[in-house]
Structure 1
Amino acid sequence: MEFKCVEECSQCCIEREYYPSKEFGKIGVLILPEEKEKIEKISAINKVDIKILPRIGVSEERDSLPTKILAYQLMGVEKNGNTCPFLDTASETKSPHGGFPCKIYENRPLACRAYPLIESEPITLDQKCKFCKEHGNADKNLNSEMEALVKIKDSMNAELPTIWRFATKVGEDEDQEILKTGWILEG
């Protein structure tokens, strides 16, 4: 079956999730270091306020903070972390599938290009995606998504042994007590 966005859906650009657990807060769109400056320039040109936080870092030692950042994250504009700042929810314009359009679609990050594929063993479709929920699978026209995911996976190969995740302290009001901020050693 061929993958295609569900009519009037922009869910993947709106809803953010807690990851890897609630204490880390909601995550933003994964941005590779080589994409960060480009996204910042695009936001300035389009006069879109953005917030980019670290996401994954590595270090040689467990008792030092990350010495290299492998990935950043583009945070949502809502207080609870939802809604990509580049999602055009204000105009009357709609995307080809009837959802809200992306202001930077041709220049969107690799993580957006890879969706609805998610990195796991084996690579799977995100079951939070409306198409994937309704149809269960797609086995056609996901070549560009697979290429984007492979590029992301390749860039995550770090030679440094200690992995850190950045806690965003972003989430729902009722979760504020348990949310943390800053670097947390993984594992």
Structure 2
Amino acid sequence: MEFKCIDECSQCCIEREYYPSKEFGKIGVLILPEEKERIEKISKVHQTNIKILPRIGVSTEKDSLPTKILAYQMMGIEKNGNTCPFLDTASGNKSPHGGFPCKIYNERPLACRAYPLIESEPITLDEKCKFCKEHGNADQNLNSEMESLLKIKERMNTDAPIIWRFATGVGEDNDLGILKSGWILED
């Protein structure tokens, strides 16, 4: 079955999830280091405020903070971390599938280009995607998504022995008491 966005859906650009657990807070859109400056420039052109935090870092020793950042994350504009800053929810315009349009669709990050694929071995579709929920699978029309996912995986490869994850401190009001912020050594 060929993948296509569900009419009136912009869910993947709105809802953010806690990952890897609630304590780490909600995650933003994955931004590779080579994409970070480009996305920051695009935000200035569009006069859009963005917040980019670290996401994954590495080091050679456990008693030091990361010495290299493998990925950043662009946070949502809402206090709870939801809604991509480049999602046009104000103009009244609609995307071809009827959802809210992306202001930077042709320049969007690799993570957005890879969606709804979230893993490459084995290929996994995001179970929260409305299309994937309704149809169960998609085995056609995902070549560019797979290509983007493989580029991300290649750039996240590291020989560094210590992996760090950045806790965003962002989440729902009722979770604020358990949210952490800053670098946390991954077990």
With normalisation by structure 2, the TM-score equals 0.99
1:24 matched residue in structure 2: 24
- Once the 2 structures are TM-superposed, how far is the Cα of residue 58 of structure 1 from its aligned partner? 0.1
* Residue equivalent to 1:160: 160
Superposition misfits of 4+ residues, deviation over 2 angstroms:
none
Residue 119 of structure 1: aligned partner? 119
* 1:128 corresponds to: 128
- Structure 2: gaps (5+ residues): none
**Aligned match of 1:181:** 181
- Tell me, in whole angstroms, the C-alpha distance in 2 between the residues paired with 1:119 and 1:171: 24
Asked if 1:52 is matched to 2:47, the reply is: no
Q: How far apart, CA to CA, are the structure 1 residues paired with 2:97 and 2:122?
A: 29
Q: How many residues align?
A: 187
Q: CA–CA distance in 1 between the matches of 2:91 and 2:46? A: 14
Distance 2:90 2:30 in 1: 24
Question: Which residues of structure 1 form unaligned runs of 5+?
Answer: none
* 1:99 has 2:99 as partner: yes
Q: Secondary structure at the match of 1:7?
A: coil
1:119 is displaced (CA, Å) by 1.6
**TM alignment of 1:51-70, pairs within 5 A:** 51-70=51-70
Query: Structure 1 residue 120: deviation in Å?
Result: 5.7
**Partner in structure 2 of residue 146 of structure 1:** 146
Cα RMSD, aligned residues only: 0.6
Q: TM-score, normalised by structure 1?
A: 0.99
Cα offset, 1:121, TM superposition: 3.5
Are the aligned partners of 2:120 and 2:146 in contact in 1 as well (CA < 8 Å)? no
The CA distance in 2 between the partners of 1:110 and 1:25, in whole Å, is: 22
Q: State the secondary structure of the residue aligned to 1:138.
A: coil
